């Protein structure tokens, strides 16, 4: 009787324990297991992953405690899981540099442990990190690697996630048909395997796809479905984000009462859950709704809050959109000076985002080109293998016939003659097939080349629209200021006189802006056309030392003619053995001038930022060794971060202020040296200390 009673108590306690939520069970286990061992590391990591959505800061503390204990115990699996968790945490907060560092460290540990599933998790997070940084080619590459690994593992969970990720990234780069296929595949797999979180990702991705295409009603239906699903899953942050998506669609549809109802509710809950990353977006939607319902003061209140938060986080889309709302609201309240400032901010970020859209399209084209080239290479290798197998079979058959011929001495001559004819026909067929294969490959390369030429032409036209748009806007504002000034009556009032002076100053500044953007349009055309012509000119033999010295002198003269002028200490060490080199002087000279100009700019920036006593120094040297000419350009300027170093040779990437550079200088220099002259362009740098570029040209 006692045994039966004890068994009943054990069964009841086990059932009750199973009904306790996972977070609470893990919290109890962590508290009751204070021993510093691997079991506690595993419990801390499990608890942190459970709390990622509901309590992100608490989960971060658990991951950090698990990481410290795992390293103390030399427990690589626990260390790798904690690093991965921290990578997810910082990626969710848009702190991509830390997220990338932690995730790459975790990936190395999982590779040593041969843990494929966790390697897949790292690949998934890295794809979103590069996606968030605007490196779409790298993001697509990691996503494809992840999908292939998920297919190899036949893991339904990761197949759903990787299809969703590829759909989201394809939407961003404008590949809408591919995005729809990936997202529909994600939904199909998620429903087949009853993966509700995967269904949620698919619904959200399809909503984003149709939102990008401005199909507001269709996008809203997908978002509303996901709101209900996220609530049923207990995903409060996910439900809030989807409610904001619904509110955004309602604002585009003109349903402002619904916008207010959603936004005020979401604002309260975002602050309670500490999901601060979505506050600027919520405030932007509220500001737009207030503006459309003739409440400019409320629009300015929420718009300023959104703008301040967006400037801190660097979210360019939010900065552009909220600046436009603030400009319109300020104009409505007759705050013309503020409206003018916000309008300038809007046009600046509109220009920046238009350039980024071009980079997205180029990334999609580049990725498609690389994918097609790989597939063509696979087809070529397959065909070559088939031809080799066919040749081997023919040779085996020929050997067999020859052996039989030794036994049949009487018919040897006829058999050999016939086999020789067959062999000649086989080789002729093989030669014909190889010729056709080469011709097909040339056609593919030509088609890809013309596709890229078309994309660059579209980019030139698109880039020109932005400076011309600036010129048009500033001209309109100038006319408006003239009208305001001409309709006013002469007055001796100091305030009115000051307003007139401010208007005239604004006119002068607008005319300067029109001139600058006209010059920038010319610069964009020149740089992009030079980029397209790289390597097409005739080479000639030149004295490389004289060419380097000539462009160094030109760069220093340009720096000295600036306002205020800038001069640096320049040390040169030219190797007399460098001698004559066959190059295109104009192209190599242009690349050298870009590198010298960048070095002097870095020195000037470092001088402006450093304390008294800093001495800017530029060192330039040449050397002939191992059949190469090495040109070294070393400055003790600002240096570069690893993130900037990875992107400096990408077209349109620049660290200069908006409107000060096209981002084509280093890209052009790299293509001129590597593609046009078969050389190499290397860079070594350390942030805050130095940068050194090394040009290697065939001697």
Mean pLDDT of the chain: 81
Range 147-160 average pLDDT: 92
Give the residue-averaged pLDDT of 25-48.
Answer: 91
Neighbours of 125 (CB within 10 A): 23
- Cα–Cα distance list, 384 to 4, 346, 373, 436 (Å): 76, 57, 16, 12
Q: How confident is the model at residue 463 (pLDDT cuts 50, 70, 90)?
A: low
pLDDT of the residue at 92: 83
Q: What is the pLDDT of residues 525-583, one digit of tens each?
A: 665 655 555 555 678 889 999 999 989 988 888 888 777 888 889 999 999 888 889 88
Mean pLDDT of 83-98: 90
The mean per-residue pLDDT over the stretch 408-424 comes to: 74
DSSP 453: H
How confident is the model at residue 275, as a pLDDT? 62
Residues whose CB is less than 8 angstroms from the CB of residue 522 and which lie 6 or more positions away in sequence, other chains included: none
Model confidence at 381, in pLDDT bands (50, 70, 90)? low
d(CA 54, CA 230): 13
Q: Among the listed ranges 172-186, 260-274, 355-369, 662-676, which one has the minimum average pLDDT value?
A: 355-369
pLDDT at 228: 92
Q: Is the pLDDT of residue 462 over 90?
A: no
Mean pLDDT of 264-285: 81
For the record, the structure tokens of 466 come out as: 């932005």
Angle between the 196-212 and 216-233 helix axes, to the nearest 10 degrees? 160
| pLDDT tens, residue by residue, 571-620 | 999 998 888 898 888 888 888 988 998 899 889 888 888 878 889 999 99
Q: Residue 446: which pLDDT band, with cuts at 50, 70 and 90?
A: very low
Check whether 6 has a pLDDT greater than 50.
Answer: no
Q: Is the pLDDT of residue 470 over 80?
A: no
Q: Which of 52, 82, 39 is nearest to 64 (CA)?
A: 82
Confidence of residue 8 (pLDDT cuts 50, 70, 90): very low
Query: What pTM value is reported for the model?
Result: 0.47
Which position has the higher pLDDT, 564 or 313?
564
Contacts of 114 (CB under 8 A, 6+ apart): none
CA 676 to the chain's CA centroid: 27
pLDDT band at 149 (very low <50, low <70, confident <90, very high): very high
The confidence score (pLDDT) of residue 4 equals 44
The values of phi and psi at residue 563, to 5°, are -120, 110
Q: Is the pLDDT of residue 93 over 50?
A: yes
Pick from 90-104, 278-292, 527-541, 638-652: least confident: 527-541
Cα→Cα distances 427→173, 391, 396, 415, 420, Å: 47, 8, 15, 18, 11
Q: Determine the Cα–Cα distance for residues 15 and 31; give it in Å rounded to an integer.
A: 21
Q: What DSSP string runs through 106-123?
A: HHHHHHHTT-HHHHHHHH
What backbone phi and psi angles, to 5 degrees, belong to 583?
-140, 175
pLDDT at 413 over 80: no
Predicted confidence at residue 532, as pLDDT, reads: 54
pLDDT exceeds 70 at position 61: yes
The HSE-up count of residue 208 (CA atoms within 13 Å, CB side) is: 21
Please say if the pLDDT value at position 500 is more than 80: no
pLDDT of residue 108: 95
Nearest in space to 139 (alpha carbons), one of 153, 148, 128, 149:
128
What per-residue confidence (pLDDT) applies to 197?
86
Could you tell me which residue, 379 or 438, shows the higher pLDDT?
438
Handedness of CA 372, 374, 380, 385 (dihedral sign): negative
Mean pLDDT, residues 419-432: 79
What is the model's pLDDT at position 460?
Answer: 59
CB 333 within 8 A of CB 369: no
% of the chain residues with pLDDT over 70: 77
Alpha carbon distance 389, 309 (integer Å): 65
Question: 186: Cβ–Cβ under 8 A, 6 or more apart, which residues?
Answer: 160, 163, 164, 167, 198, 201, 202, 205
């Amino acid at each position: 009787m006692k045994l039966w009673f004890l068994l009943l108590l054990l069964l009841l306690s086990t059932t009750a324990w199973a009904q306790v939520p996972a977070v609470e069970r893990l919290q109890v286990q962590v508290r009751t297991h204070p021993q510093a061992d691997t079991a506690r590391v595993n419990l801390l990591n499990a608890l942190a992953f459970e709390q990622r959505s509901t309590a992100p800061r608490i989960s971060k503390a658990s991951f950090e405690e698990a990481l410290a204990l795992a390293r103390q115990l030399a427990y690589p699996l626990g260390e790798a899981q904690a690093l991965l968790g921290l990578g997810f945490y910082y990626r969710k907060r848009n702190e991509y540099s830390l997220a990338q560092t932690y995730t790459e460290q975790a990936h190395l540990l999982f590779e040593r442990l041969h843990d494929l599933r966790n390697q897949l998790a790292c690949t998934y997070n890295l794809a979103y990190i590069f996606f968030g940084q605007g490196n779409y080619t790298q993001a697509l590459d990691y996503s494809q690697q992840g999908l292939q690994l998920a297919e190899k593992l036949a893991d339904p969970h990761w197949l759903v996630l990787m299809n969703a990720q590829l759909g989201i990234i394809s939407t961003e780069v404008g590949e809408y048909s591919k995005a729809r296929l990936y997202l529909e595949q994600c939904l199909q797999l998620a429903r087949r395997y009853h993966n509700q979180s995967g269904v949620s990702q698919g619904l959200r991705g399809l909503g984003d796809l149709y939102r990008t295409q401005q199909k507001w009603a269709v996008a809203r239906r997908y978002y509303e479905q996901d709101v209900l699903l996220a609530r049923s899953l207990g995903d409060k942050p996910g439900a809030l984000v989807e409610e904001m998506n619904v509110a955004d669609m309602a604002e585009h549809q003109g349903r402002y009462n619904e916008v207010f109802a959603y936004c005020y509710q979401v604002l309260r809950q975002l602050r309670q859950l500490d999901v601060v990353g979505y506050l600027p977006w919520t405030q932007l939607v509220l500001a737009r709704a207030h503006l459309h319902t003739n409440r400019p003061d409320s629009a300015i209140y929420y718009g300023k809050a959104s703008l301040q938060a967006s400037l801190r986080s660097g979210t360019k889309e939010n900065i552009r959109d909220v600046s436009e709302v603030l400009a319109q609201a300020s104009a409505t309240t007759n705050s013309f000076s503020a409206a003018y400032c916000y309008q300038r901010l809007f046009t600046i970020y509109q220009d920046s985002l238009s350039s980024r859209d071009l980079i997205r399209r180029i990334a999609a084209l580049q990725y498609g080109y690389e994918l097609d080239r790989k597939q063509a290479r696979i087809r070529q290798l397959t065909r070559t293998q088939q031809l080799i197998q066919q040749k081997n079979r023919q040779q085996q058959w020929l050997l067999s016939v020859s052996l039989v011929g030794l036994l049949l001495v009487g018919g040897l001559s006829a058999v050999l003659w016939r086999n020789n004819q067959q062999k000649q026909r086989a080789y002729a067929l093989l030669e014909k097939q190889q010729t056709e294969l080469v011709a097909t490959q040339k056609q593919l390369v030509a088609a890809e080349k013309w596709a890229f030429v078309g994309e660059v032409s579209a980019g030139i036209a698109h880039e020109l629209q932005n400076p011309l748009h600036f010129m048009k806007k500033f001209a309109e504002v100038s006319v408006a200021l003239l009208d305001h000034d001409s309709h006013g009556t002469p007055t001796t009032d100091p305030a009115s006189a000051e307003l007139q002076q401010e208007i005239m100053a604004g006119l002068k500044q607008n005319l300067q802006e029109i001139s600058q953007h006209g010059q920038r349009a010319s610069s964009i055309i020149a740089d992009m056309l030079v980029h397209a012509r790289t390597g097409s000119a005739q080479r000639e033999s030149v004295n490389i030392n004289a060419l380097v010295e000539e462009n160094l002198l030109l760069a220093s003269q340009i720096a000295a003619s600036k306002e205020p002028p800038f001069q640096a200490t320049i040390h040169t060490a030219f190797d007399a053995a460098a001698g004559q080199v066959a190059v295109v002087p104009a192209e190599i000279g242009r690349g050298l001038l870009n590198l010298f100009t960048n070095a002097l700019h870095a020195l000037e920036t470092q001088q402006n930022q450093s304390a008294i006593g800093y001495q800017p120094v530029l060192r330039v040297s040449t050397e002939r060794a191992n059949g190469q000419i090495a040109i070294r350009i070393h400055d003790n300027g600002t240096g570069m971060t690893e993130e900037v170093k990875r992107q400096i040779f990408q077209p349109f990437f620049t660290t200069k202020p908006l409107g000060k550079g096209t981002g084509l200088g280093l890209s052009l220099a790299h293509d001129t040296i590597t593609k046009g002259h078969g050389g190499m362009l290397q860079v070594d740098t350390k942030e805050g200390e130095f940068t050194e570029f090394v040009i290697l040209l065939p001697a």
